């Protein structure tokens, strides 16, 4: 075997990270998520979300979620040129005492997001490589380049965090 070159370096990469707050009917979404946990297709304790989780596409056809997402997309489209894209996945989750989210990213998607549904004392979502956090408060959201790693520490508080995460992928026209 001959190795002609072996390089391990970090390179700068453009990304975006946007966080804000949006008005939502959190009771509606939390109740829908709880229904999703009961379905056979749920992903509870099967992914990087170390808690309860609906199926991957649970909210893809939900009109109430579409209304919320359109408001976020309108801001994004006015401020960042990303090209054509479409919602690929949207799922609900909860993290209770003793649960956490493992460090992960959402590649190969174009961008991703999370929307918190309730105020609680659970740990924030951390984006350590860029020094950002998102606190779990009703209506707080972040949208971000999908390659950004993020995680939460173990929830040691007696409160459950509810949220919706989603991925958006490129649309290629032929």
Per residue of the chain (174 residues), give pLDDT as tens.
998 888 888 878 899 999 999 999 999 999 999 999 999 999 999 999 999 999 999 999 999 999 999 999 999 999 998 989 999 999 999 999 999 999 999 999 999 999 999 999 999 999 999 999 999 999 999 999 999 999 999 999 989 999 999 999 998 765
> Domain range for residue 162?
25-170
The pLDDT of residue 173 is 65
Cα 4 to Cα 1, 7, 124: the distances in Å are: 10, 10, 44
The total of structural domains in the chain comes to: 1
The answer to whether 172 and 85 have CB atoms below 8 angstroms apart is no
The pLDDT of residue 174 is 55
Residue 113 domain flag: yes
The answer to whether 18 and 73 have CB atoms below 8 angstroms apart is no
- Separation of alpha carbons 163 and 124, rounded Å: 12
Task: Look up the CATH number of the domain holding residue 111.
Answer: 2.60.120.620
Residue 15 domain flag: no
Quick one: 135 exposed, middle or buried, by C-beta within 10 A (0-12, 13-18, 19+)?
middle
Residue 4 domain flag: no
List of residues 6+ apart from 63 with CB closer than 8 A:
none
- Separation of alpha carbons 46 and 42, rounded Å: 9
Residue 170's nearest CA partner among 111, 122, 130, 90 is 111
The pLDDT of residue 10 is 81
């Amino acid at each position: 075997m001959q190795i002609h070159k072996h390089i391990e370096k970090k390179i700068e990469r453009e990304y975006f990270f946007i966080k804000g707050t949006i008005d939502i009917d959190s009771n509606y979404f939390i109740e829908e998520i709880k229904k999703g946990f009961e379905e056979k297709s749920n992903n509870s304790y099967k992914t990087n979300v170390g808690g309860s989780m609906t199926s991957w596409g649970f909210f893809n056809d939900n009109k109430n979620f579409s209304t919320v997402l359109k408001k976020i997309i309108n801001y994004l489209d006015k401020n960042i040129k990303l090209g054509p894209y479409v919602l690929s996945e949207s799922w609900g989750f909860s993290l209770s005492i003793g649960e956490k989210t493992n460090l992960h990213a959402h590649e190969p998607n174009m961008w991703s997001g999370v929307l918190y549904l309730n105020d609680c004392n659970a740990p924030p979502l951390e984006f350590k490589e860029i020094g950002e956090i998102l606190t779990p408060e009703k209506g707080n959201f972040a949208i971000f380049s999908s390659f950004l790693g993020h995680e939460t520490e173990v929830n040691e508080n007696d409160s459950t965090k509810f949220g919706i995460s989603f991925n958006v992928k490129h649309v290629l026209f032929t």
